[in-house]
Amino acid sequence: MEFLFKPFGIAVAFVIVALIWTFPLQHVISYPFVFLFFGAVMGTAWFGGTIAGFIAVALSSLLVTFLFIPPLYSFSVAKGSESFLTAFILCAIAISFLSAARKRSENAIREARDQLEEKVHERTAELEQSNRDIQESERQLRLLTEAIPQQIWRADASGKIEYCNQHLVDYLGIPAREACDDNFFRILHPEDESIFRHGWQAALVTGANFEIEARIRNRAGIFRWFLVRSIPQRTEDGKIARWYGIHIDIEEQHKAQQSLARAHEEQVRIAHTLSMAEMAASIAHELNQPLTAVMTHAYACREWLHANPVNVDRASATADKIVQESTRAGEVIKRVRALFRNEPQVRQKADLGVLIRDTARLLRDEAIRRVISTHLFIAEDLPRIEIDPVQVQQVLINLAMNAMEAMASGQPPLELSIRAEKKSEREVFVSVEDRGPGIPSETAARIFDPFFTTKAEGIGMGLAICRSIVEAHDGRIWAQSLPGGGTAVQFTLRNRQ
Amino acid sequence: MTTTLQNSGQTVFIVDDDDSICEALSNLLESVGIAAQSYPSAESFADSWERGSAGCLLLDARLPGMSGVEFQEQMHASGIDLPIIFMTAHGDMPMVRNVMKAGAVEFLIKPFQKEELLHAVDQAFALDKTRRADEEVLQSIRTRIDSLTDREREVMRLVTTGLLNKQVAAELNLSEITVKLHRRRVMEKMEADSLADLVKMCERFRSLDH
């Protein structure tokens, strides 16, 4: 019942106020003046709600019936006044409803407004928080980019550098503002600049990830190798918003790689030279023995002839020995020749074009390392002829290596060309050409002789071996200078029939 | 030059595994009147070696079995004391340096000139002669010393260090007369003309006898 106290109180208060004002006013206005009670009902319903309104209606009706409707001071209602009373009660009820409803809608509006305000507060707080979060994460990101011991930058969609981290700035030794912009290419090694610029501009157009190894100059003017890698960040509609780049220092790896390559090359060279040197030493020893004997006998022979009296018998016997030992020396040379020529040969019909392509593939790494481009011109109608593929490949490798070495100190473009043409149904022609300094004609005639060499560390057997292989294939080998500079070593191979 | 080498009783011992080299070298040496003997290996030479053979070794540095360089290191142990001339077809510097340091007379690279060979043989023979003469002197002194009694040897030792007879007598607890007697016997047996001669003899013996 407690919930009735407040509405009841409000109703009583309003009704009493209406009653107090009605008493004096009824003397001014003759007709039963009860309109102030409508005010009381309206006020009660406004402040106390519907229930309070009804209580006020009830109280007002009782008081009006008792005090102002004849017979006065009685709850009975005189004839003729019922309609008045009924109209009063209906009006009061209606007013009470209207007032309460109005009050409710007012409350609802206020409530909605309050809620809205509250929401706005909440949202504001959330926004502030997320703003702080973003700032924090940005700060952390920046801290991270500075903490990574690599050089990091950011560029706009056009490739203009907008931001460089401290490492990059420190490395370059120039203010961040200067490091930005197109000047970026100036920090590169001149040899790397053009390839870098092309690659970067291509990446900017295609939007592909960019990666390149290049030398970058530090504050002291010294170049170090870096792996430069850049990836685009795209907006939701796929357009490139900006580029992020990182420079990873690969100087040490590069050095290690280079020394590895050098060591490897040295090893191959030493192995090659060693086997050749060993062979040469053994040939030299083989020849040296009879030569020493010949020389010693010759001295002895002279002594026997100068003796007094002349010892003709010993001199003659010694001369025989000289012939014998010279013959032995000749046999050594024959054996050495046989070593090169009469190796058991595995003759088979082979496609020389395939053999040349295989050889070029074998030498690919070497050519790349020496920045030499290799061109093969192999005629379509090359006849298949019977050759020893291993030996012929040995010739090709030897000639190609010589050609590359001839260009070792040359100016670009460095080109190695191998041509193969058909001479007849049973003969092919091969030419191995370089862009080196060429070959003097007097040298050209001798380079296929054993032990002839123009190289400091060569022993002059390579081309001699080539010649013996080519001749074993009933072919010929020769060298000539090319009109545009460079040397062509050419040979033919013939089908034995 | 070559005439001085003739009939000296010295022989060049050639050690080379190549018959034709041995033959050519002996032919040349004989043509200038030098005796020569050939051996195909260091081992075969060591086996047929006779003590007192005079001359020198003409040794190939690279031999089958024991190499010339190894043989040089072992020669003293085998009691062979001949000057060595090395020869080889391929002389590498460290090897040349080592054998020269070890006392080789010469290192000849095949093929070599007649003069190179004969000059080396000349040097080697001269060295051999000196050594042999030293050896002879040593041998005769050793024989004389061996003929001394223990007491006489004691007296000689003390006298040659410069002590007077009186001091020697005191040292050996003998009378001065006895020392004088021993001393005369020593001088006689050692065939020394004077004390200075005896001292010289003893010093030479000490310096050669190692």
pLDDT of residue A314: 92
CATH superfamily of domain region A348-494: Histidine kinase-like ATPase, C-terminal domain (3.30.565.10)
Is residue B8 predicted with pLDDT exceeding 70?
no
- CA dist A46 and A105 (Å) reads 11
Share of chain A above pLDDT 90, in %: 20
- CA dist A322 and A328 (Å) reads 10
Determine if the peptide bond prior to B111 is cis (ω within 30°): yes
The more confidently predicted of residues B35 and A187 is: B35
Name the residue among A180, A196, A177 with its Cα closest to residue A188: A196
Is residue B101 predicted with pLDDT exceeding 90?
no
| Minimal C-alpha gap between A320 and chain B (Å) | 12
pLDDT of residue A483: 86
Q: Tell me the mean pLDDT in the region B93-108.
A: 84
User: For residue range A199-212, what is the model confidence (pLDDT) as tens digits?
Assistant: 888 888 888 888 88
Residues of chain A with CATH 3.30.565.10: 348-494
Q: Which residue in B has a C-alpha nearest to residue A297's C-alpha? A: B24
pLDDT of residue A114: 93
Of the pLDDT bands very low, low, confident and very high (cuts 50, 70, 90), residue A339 is low
The secondary structure of A193-221 as a DSSP string is HHHHHHHHHHHHHH---EEEEEEEE-TTS
Whether residue B16 contacts residue B22, with contact meaning beta carbons closer than 8 Å, is answered with yes
pLDDT of residue A268: 62
Q: Tell me the mean pLDDT in the region A117-129.
A: 93
Q: Report the relative pairing of strands A427-433 and A385-387 from DSSP bridges.
A: unpaired
- CA dist A244 and A487 (Å) reads 50
Could you please state the CATH topology (level 3) that the domain comprising A255-341 is classified under. Answer: Helix Hairpins (1.10.287)
Q: Which residue in B has a C-alpha nearest to residue A287's C-alpha? A: B89
The more confidently predicted of residues A488 and A452 is: A488
Of the pLDDT bands very low, low, confident and very high (cuts 50, 70, 90), residue B3 is very low
Q: Which of A281, A291, A307 is facing B111, going by the closest CB pair?
A: A291
Of the pLDDT bands very low, low, confident and very high (cuts 50, 70, 90), residue A317 is very high
The more confidently predicted of residues B92 and A66 is: A66
Length of chain B: 210
Residues of B in contact with A300 (CB under 8 A): 24, 27-28, 30-31
User: For residue range B195-209, what is the model confidence (pLDDT) as tens digits?
Assistant: 888 888 888 888 776
- CA dist A320 and A218 (Å) reads 79
Residues of B in contact with A321 (CB under 8 A): 20, 23-24, 27
- CA dist B85 and B78 (Å) reads 18
B27 and A300 in contact by Cβ < 8 A? yes
pLDDT of residue B6: 46
Is residue A453 predicted with pLDDT exceeding 90?
no
Is residue A495 predicted with pLDDT exceeding 90?
no
- CA dist A160 and A242 (Å) reads 9
pLDDT of residue A270: 59
B24 and A289 in contact by Cβ < 8 A? no
Q: Which of these CATH numbers, 2.60.40.10, 3.40.50.2300, 3.90.1150.10, 3.40.50.720, describes B2-130?
A: 3.40.50.2300
- CA dist B149 and B146 (Å) reads 8
Within 137-176 of B, beta carbons closer than 8 Å to A belong to none
Is residue A76 predicted with pLDDT exceeding 70?
yes
Q: Tell me the mean pLDDT in the region B85-107.
A: 82
pLDDT of residue A108: 92
- CA dist B65 and B192 (Å) reads 50
Q: Tell me the mean pLDDT in the region A373-386.
A: 90
Residues of B in contact with A297 (CB under 8 A): 24, 27-28
The more confidently predicted of residues A459 and A54 is: A54
B25 and A296 in contact by Cβ < 8 A? yes
A297 and B110 in contact by Cβ < 8 A? no
Q: Tell me the mean pLDDT in the region A117-121.
A: 93
Q: Tell me the mean pLDDT in the region A170-194.
A: 75
- CA dist A62 and A261 (Å) reads 118
Residues of chain A with CATH 3.30.450.20: 148-249
pLDDT of residue A267: 62
Q: Tell me the mean pLDDT in the region B182-204.
A: 88
- In chain B, where are the structural domains located? 2-130, 148-208
User: For residue range A4-31, what is the model confidence (pLDDT) as tens digits?
Assistant: 788 888 888 888 888 888 888 877 776 6
pLDDT of residue B34: 93
Q: Report the relative pairing of strands A373-378 and A415-424 from DSSP bridges.
A: parallel
Work out whether the CA dihedral A47, A50, A51, A55 comes out positive or negative: positive
Q: Which two tokens stand for residue A290?
A: 């009879």
B70 touches chain A (CB under 8 A): no
Q: What are phi and psi of B85, to 5 degrees?
A: -110, 120
Is residue B191 predicted with pLDDT exceeding 80?
yes
Whether residue A250 contacts residue A227, with contact meaning beta carbons closer than 8 Å, is answered with yes
Of the pLDDT bands very low, low, confident and very high (cuts 50, 70, 90), residue A428 is very high
Is residue B1 predicted with pLDDT exceeding 50?
no
CA dist A185 → A161, A178, A206, A249 (Å):
11, 12, 20, 17
A297 and B24 in contact by Cβ < 8 A? yes
pLDDT of residue A431: 95
Q: What is the DSSP secondary structure assignment for residue A184, as one 8-state letter?
A: G
Is residue B189 predicted with pLDDT exceeding 70?
yes
Q: Which residue in A has a C-alpha nearest to residue B60's C-alpha? A: A289
The more confidently predicted of residues A495 and A422 is: A422
Lowest mean pLDDT among A129-133, A264-268, B152-156: A264-268
Residue of B23, B31, B119 best to disrupt the A interface, most CBs of A under 10 A: B31
Q: What is the DSSP secondary structure assignment for residue A428, as one 8-state letter?
A: E
- CA dist A456 and B67 (Å) reads 33
Residues of chain A with CATH 1.10.287: 255-341
B25 and A314 in contact by Cβ < 8 A? no
Within 280-309 of A, beta carbons closer than 8 Å to B belong to 281, 284-285, 288-297, 299-301, 303-304, 307
| A279 Cβ contact partners less than 8 Å away, ≥ 6 residues apart | A461
Domain B148-208: give its CATH architecture.
Orthogonal Bundle (1.10)
- CA dist A332 and A136 (Å) reads 88
The more confidently predicted of residues A3 and B194 is: B194
> Residues A379, A381, A382, CA angle at the centre, nearest 5°?
70
Residues of A in contact with B89 (CB under 8 A): 284-285, 288-289, 292
A325 and B27 in contact by Cβ < 8 A? no
pLDDT of residue A128: 93
B1 touches chain A (CB under 8 A): no
Lowest mean pLDDT among A135-139, A282-286, B169-173: A282-286
B179 touches chain A (CB under 8 A): no
Q: Tell me the mean pLDDT in the region B116-126.
A: 93
pLDDT of residue B4: 43
pLDDT of residue A276: 63
Domain A148-249: give its CATH architecture.
2-Layer Sandwich (3.30)
User: For residue range B46-90, what is the model confidence (pLDDT) as tens digits?
Assistant: 888 887 788 999 998 878 778 888 888 888 777 788 899 999 876
pLDDT of residue A182: 57
